[in-house]
Amino acid sequence: MLSLGWGMNEPVRIVYLVNEEHRRGYAYGTLPGHPLFGEESFVVEHRADDSVRITVRAFSRPSSRFWWAVYPALRLAQAYFTRRYLRVLAVPID
């Protein structure tokens, strides 16, 4: 979570797991009380050429009138966190 000196309740639940030989991941869906209504998934695939691919998929919309009013800020926060996820995942493991 982006820290601005305050916390935010963002309840979610895991809606499915990917547990295949060369693919691992999960998806979560938002629960009541979350600023958004939607799902996000993260799947890592180890390919035959020994490369690794991460797929992040998300769909969402604001969950209430209040969150619709601040929708541009929500989109900026989503973009920030997606970039952060991908930056962390791009670091080689020693």
Of 7-21, 26-40, 78-92, minimum mean pLDDT range? 78-92
Name the residue among 30, 41, 27, 25 with its Cα closest to residue 8: 30
Does 4 fall in a domain? no
Whole-model pTM?
A: 0.76
C-alpha torsion sign, points 77, 83, 86, 88: negative
Does 34 fall in a domain? yes
* Per-residue pLDDT band at 10 (split at 50, 70, 90): confident
Q: What is the total count of domains within the chain? A: 1
Amino acid at 64: S
Q: How crowded is the C-beta side of 51, counted as CA atoms within 13 Å?
A: 3
How many whole angstroms separate alpha carbon 74 and alpha carbon 81?
11
Does 1 fall in a domain? no
* Per-residue pLDDT band at 78 (split at 50, 70, 90): confident
Identify the CATH number of the domain in which residue 37 sits.
Answer: 2.20.25
Identify the domain containing residue 34 by its residue range. 12-89
18-54 pLDDT tens trace:
999 999 999 999 999 999 999 999 999 999 999 989 8
